[in-house]
Amino acid sequence: MPPKGTNDLAPRGCEVCHQRDRLLRCTGCLTVYYCSRDHQVSDRPAHKNACVDVKKARAELERIEQKLRTETASGPFGPDIFISQAGHFWSIDETRPYLEARCRLAETIFRRFGFDPGRVDGVQAALDHFMEVSRLARSETMGIRCLIPAFLIRLGRDQEAYDFLKAWAISRGRPDANGGGDMPHPEIKGANVLEPLHNGWTEAGQIDLHDAVVMTVIKFRVLSDLQRMQNAARGLADTFPREITDLIRRELVGSAVVTRPEVLSLDTAELGRLIDSIKFQIKRLFNAVHVRNSHLWEMLLVTLTTGGVRDTDPAETSIPGTRGEAFMTISQSLEAWVEVPNAPHQIKGVIRAMLTDGEVLDRMRAAMMGRR
């Protein structure tokens, strides 16, 4: 089964006529598809530059991999460095060029086929490379692990994004976290997205800004799933038997909610209480992020409504609380925000509800007015 499309990504189909049966894959980029030789030939002029770009990046990765394997085969790392040193690639000088080449290939695929128009196969292929980099280099400092949850969400794989963030939150809290950057993470699968928030996303002193922001995306998406279920329940309750409404609900929700059968059969009152608790979690995340970096929400809103923020100092990106850090965090999570239905409206709504003293709203207003 080819991956399904999402809100914003085109499903796998012919580049020319979008037909979805019996497709042939382009052998250059390995990322786009055609229904026939005719359509491939007619698309070649438009496709050629992107295709060659990706093909070159892959050839370079293969060259570096071959060189690495040849040079290390008889050394201290054993016959297969990809097995013996998995997890430690960032700490070994010989393996860093491989990681960098693999990231370049992922970025090239994403730049060429991940947006404008976004294709599900472009995002999927870039994500696969990022996941492999993250597996080989658990302590990498290139920020790849920050991109992974956003890409998963872009593909509608919220459950995996939640599991990934939870594993990181648990690893960070371990006593050996600082000295053991290459340590394997706990294997987490099917964690409950409705459970209380981990301290690593909300508590001052423990919060990871990036993870808290992406967690907000996940909770927004859960909230809209629950609200859709609630609306369907209201509309259908008297018309169909319970088994049918449960089936309909399954079709309305994303990957993180569909795995929770106990939620699919809640009545409207219970659903209402669950919706309130998720709204409360979102407010807590907003507050925690705001305390950690007071620029972030305002900058995100401006980015989503006007398409970008430019006046940040690149040197600031690693300094907590700065505009530069907010900018970096937003860049890494932007893919995920694309998949939040009506994100600017939702963000404004939470900010309004969060306010007691008017301080944040005044800042927002000033920011929005200044840029309109």
Any contact of residue 29 with Zn ion (CB under 5 A)? yes
The CA distance from 43 to 28, in Å, is: 13
Residue closest to 233 by CA, chosen among 265, 277, 260: 265
Rounded to whole angstroms, how far apart are CA atoms 71 and 82? 13
- 75 with 92: CB under 8 angstroms? no
User: Which position has the token pair 């669950």?
Assistant: 274
**Is residue 23 near Zn ion by the rule CB under 5 A?**
no
CB of 162 to Zn ion, least distance (A): 34
Nearer to Zn ion, 14 or 338 (CB): 14
The smaller minimum CB distance to Zn ion, of residues 56 and 260, is found at 56
CB 132 → Zn ion: shortest distance, Å? 21
Contact with Zn ion (CB under 5 A) among 3, 8, 10, 16? 16
Contact between 17 and Zn ion by CB under 5 A: the answer reads yes
**Residue choice 6, 9, 12, 14 for contact with Zn ion (CB under 5 A):** 14
Q: How far is the CB of 119 from Zn ion (least distance, A)?
A: 12
Size of the site for Zn ion (CB under 5 A): 9
The reply to whether 41 sits near Zn ion by the rule CB under 5 A is no
Contact 158, 192 (CB under 8 A): no
Q: Does 35 bind Zn ion (CB under 5 A)?
A: yes
- Which residues in 46-65 contact Zn ion (CB under 5 A)? 51
356 three-state secondary structure: coil
Q: Which one-letter amino acid corresponds to residue 291?
A: V
- Min dist. Cβ of residue 125 to Zn ion (A): 12
Angle (CA) 119-121-125 rounded to 5° is 125
* Nearest alpha carbon to residue 136 among 174, 164, 96, 104: 96
DSSP state of 114: T
- Span interacting with Zn ion, options 28-36, 160-168, 184-192, 351-359, rule CB under 5 A: 28-36
Q: Footprint of Zn ion on this chain (CB under 5 A)?
A: 14, 16-17, 26, 28-29, 35, 39, 51
